[in-house]
Structure 1
Amino acid sequence: MNPKLLATTTAGLLCLAGGLAACGSDPSSSGSGAAGADGVGVFLSTSANSYEQAQAAGVKKAAQDLGAGDVQVFDASFDSTAQIGQVQDAVTSGRFKSFVIEPVDGAAIAGPLARAAAAGIEVVCVTSACGPDATKIDLQVEGQGGVVASDYGQVAEAMAGHAVEACEGVDPCRVFFLNGDSTFPSDRAAKDSFAGVMEKAPSNVEFVGTQDGKYDTVTGRSVMQSELQRNPDLDVLVSFADQQTLGAAQAIDAASKSEQVKIISFGGSEQAVAAVKNGAWLGSMLTLPFSIGETGATIAIQLAQGKTPDETVVDASTLAPVDGAYLIKDNAADFTAQWTS
C-alpha cells in the first residue's frame, strides 16, 4: 500500500461503535475558528504512527494559515467499513465544509465521498487515490475536489530502474524485491511494475524473486534471513517500505553482508535518511506526509472558501525537494525527514 502502514489501533473500531462523538477530534485537534459548519474533517487509515500524525499536522497547518474552522481527525484503524461510517456520520453532522481523506479502500469509499460532495463538502484524497483505480492520480469520484497521491506502480518502476543502475558493472547482479502487502491493489500494481522492468533489464541483471514484508520490521528480517540462505550472493535489495527495510537490513548485517548488498527503500523516514547519509543504504524514494496533508488541505479549504487552487491534481512525488524524489548520499545533506518508521 505505502510506507505509512506501521501499526494498527483499536481507536477506529471504538469510534465506529460510539458514533460521531467517539470519532471526535484527537487530543491535538485544532482550528483557527469556532466549531461549526466550516470545519475540516481528516479521515486517516490510522492515527497510530508518525506518518499519519505528520499528515494531520500538515492539515492543521493549512487550516490555521487559511482561517478554516476546527480540524477533526477520524481514525479508521485500517477498517474500510469503519471509515465509511465515519464519513457518513460526518456528512450528517453538518459540521464540515471540507474533507481530507486517506482512504483505506479507495474503491469502497467512492460512493460515500460522492454523496459528501453532493452535500456541498469539498473532498480531497491524499496519499492514495480514491476510486476504482488505485494507481491513477486523478479525480475518479463524482464531485471530488482534488487529490494528492502517489502512483505506486510508477514508484516501483523508478525503484527497479535504480536497481538496474546499481547493477552496472556487476555480472551477474542478483536483485530481490521485498514488496509491501500484495493483498493491497496498490502493492499488486507495484509488484507487477517492478517485475516488468526486471524483464526488460540488461542481461547481467537477475531478478531472483519477491516476497511480502507486510510493512513490518520482524517480517522483513525473517524474509531476508530466508532469502540470504537461498541466495547468499544477493547484490541488491529493493524494499517497498522503510519499516520492513529496517528488519531486512538487520538480517543483512547479521549475515556480514552489508558491504555486499545494496539497499534501496521507499519512505524517506528519519531512519532511512540517516542510513542513506551514512552510506549504509544506497537510496530511498521519498514520501512527505506533512507536505501531502498540507497540500491536500490547502486545496480542500480554498475550494470551500470559493477560491481557485493553483492545482487540484498533485503527484505527491513532485513535493520532494530532490530530483525524482530519490534520496542518495550526494543529495541528502540538507534533507529533513517528516516522519519516523
Structure 2
Amino acid sequence: MRPMRPRVRTLTRPAIAAAVAAACLAGTAACAKSAPKAAASGATSTGTAAQQVVATSASGPGCTSQTYGGGVAQLNLTDPSTIVGFSQSESTSNPFRSTETDSITNQAKSLGVKLIQRNANADVNAQNSQIEDMIAQGAKVLIVAPENSDGLGPALAEAKAKKIPVLTIDRTVTGTACSDFIAFIGSNFYGQAQIAADDLATATGSQAKVAILSGTPGNNVTTDRTNGFQDQVKAKYPNMTVVASQTGKFDQTDGQSVMAQMLQANPGITAVYAENDEMALGAIQAITAAGKKPGKDIKIVSIDGTQQAVQDVAAGTIYADVETNPRFGPLAFSSLQAFFGTSGVASKVIIKDSHFTQANAQQALSGGQVY
C-alpha cells in the first residue's frame, strides 16, 4: 500500500500576510504594507514569498530553532558572521537549475545574506562531500536541492550532529521533518502528473497508446509523477493504455534514445507523457527522426515549463506543459526567517506552479513568465 500523503491546508489571508512580513528579513514598514496587497492578489509563480505559497502541511506546530533536533542556535541571517550554504544538485545548463540557482543567489544578495554554494553536477557522492565542505567552511544553515531522496544520509548526519539546520527544496530527502531537516519546499508532483494525464486525455479524445518517459529513479519527483499519472489514467480513462515506460533520467539525450527504442518496439504509440521538458525535447527529436509529426501523429504533454517547451506548446508541437516553479529564493529565505523566529515553518510547503496550454503559452512567453 502506498503511504498516505500528508494533508495540506490553503493559507488564510492572515497567514499570507505573515509570510509576506517574514519574507522581508529587515521587517521594514514598506514590507508590512505590502501584506494586504499580496493577500488580495493571490499566488503567482514570480511574486513574493506569500504569493508563492499554495498550501502548507496541517499537522502540528511549525518547526522552530527551539524545536528542531533538540534545539539549535538562534541566527540573524543578515549578520556578516552568519554563512548560509546552498547545495545545488545538477548542472545549471539545465534551465530549471539555472533559474533555481539564480533565485537563491539573487534573494540572498538582495537581503544581505552571506551565501556560499556548490554544484554536485548530478553526483550524489559529490553532493555529500560538498555539503560537508561547506560545513567545514563555517556554514551555519543549509539550503539543499537534493540529487536524490535517499543518498544524502552522510551529509545530513554530519549537519545534525553539528546542529546545523537543513532546508530542502524541490526534492525530498529520507528522514523526519524538524529532526533531520527543517522542511520541504516544492511542487505537488503527484498533482502535476494528474493534470498531465487530463491534458493528454483531452488531446487524444481519451483514447491513446501512451509511452511514459520517467525521471531518474530514486527520488520522490519521479515516483510521484509516475504514480500520479498512472493513477489518474486508471481512475478516469479506460481507453488510454500505457504501452511502454522507461527512464530517460530527466535528460534530453537519454530521452531521445529511449523514445527511439520505444517507437521501434511499439510503432503504434500515439501519445507521450514526459516527466520533464528535457526528455520531451528529446522525444520530439526521436519522433521526427521516425518520420512522424510530433503534435499531430503523436501528442505530447510534459512537466517543467521551460522556455523552449512552452514555445513548442505555442507552436502546437507539445500539447500542454505543467510548470515546476524553480523560483525558490523568496520562499526559502522567508521560511528560514520563520524558523529562527517564533512562528516556525511547516514540514511541507507547496509552491505555486503555472499551467501552459495553447490558450496562454504565447502570452506567458511575451510576459516573461517562463524561465
Give the TM-score normalised by the residue count of structure 2: 0.68
Cα deviation code 1:152-188 (max 9, x no counterpart)? 34433332232223332x6x42222111233545424
- Following superposition, the deviation at residue 89 of structure 1 comes to 3.2
Q: Tell me what 1:265 maps to.
A: 302
CA RMSD, Structure 1 to Structure 2 (Å): 2.9
- Following superposition, the deviation at residue 42 of structure 1 comes to 0.4
1:83 aligns with 2:127: yes
Question: Matches of 2:318 and 2:239 in 1, distance apart?
Answer: 22
**Counterparts in 2 of 1:111 and 1:231: CA distance versus 1, 3 Å:** closer
Question: Matches of 1:64 and 1:303 in 2, distance apart?
Answer: 20
Unaligned runs of 5+ in 1: 1-31, 133-138
- Candidates 266, 272, 290, aligned match of 1:237: 272
* Contact in 2 for aligned 1:78/1:104 (Cα 8 Å): yes
* Contact in 2 for aligned 1:87/1:112 (Cα 8 Å): yes
Q: Partner amino acid for 2:198?
A: G
Q: Tell me what 2:156 maps to.
A: 113
Q: Partner amino acid for 2:129?
A: G
1:297 aligns with 2:333: yes
Cα deviation code 1:172-221 (max 9, x no counterpart)? 42222111233545424433443333333433222222122222323322
Question: Matches of 1:63 and 1:90 in 2, distance apart?
Answer: 16
Question: Matches of 1:83 and 1:56 in 2, distance apart?
Answer: 15
Residue 334 of structure 1 aligns to a residue whose secondary structure is helix
**Counterparts in 2 of 1:62 and 1:312: CA distance versus 1, 3 Å:** farther
1:329 aligns with 2:365: no
Residue 41 of structure 1 aligns to a residue whose secondary structure is strand
Q: Tell me what 2:231 maps to.
A: 196
**Counterparts in 2 of 1:243 and 1:285: CA distance versus 1, 3 Å:** same
- Candidates 303, 311, 314, aligned match of 1:274: 311
Question: Matches of 1:222 and 1:105 in 2, distance apart?
Answer: 23
1:156 aligns with 2:193: yes
Question: Matches of 1:105 and 1:280 in 2, distance apart?
Answer: 31
Question: Matches of 2:106 and 2:342 in 1, distance apart?
Answer: 18
Larger mean Cα displacement after TM superposition, 227-236 or 258-267? 227-236
Cα deviation code 1:236-282 (max 9, x no counterpart)? 21111211211211222341333222110111111111111222211
Residue 336 of structure 2 aligns to a residue whose secondary structure is helix
Question: Matches of 1:211 and 1:225 in 2, distance apart?
Answer: 12
Unaligned runs of 5+ in 2: 1-76
Cα deviation code 1:131-161 (max 9, x no counterpart)? 24xxxxxx63516333212343443333223
Cα deviation code 1:288-325 (max 9, x no counterpart)? 22x12442233225545x47478663213x2x2x3xxx
Q: Tell me what 1:253 maps to.
A: 288
Q: Tell me what 1:135 maps to.
A: none
Identical counterparts, % of pairs = 24
Residue 311 of structure 2 aligns to a residue whose secondary structure is helix
Q: Tell me what 1:218 maps to.
A: 253
Q: Tell me what 1:72 maps to.
A: 116
**Counterparts in 2 of 1:294 and 1:52: CA distance versus 1, 3 Å:** farther
- Following superposition, the deviation at residue 59 of structure 1 comes to 1.2
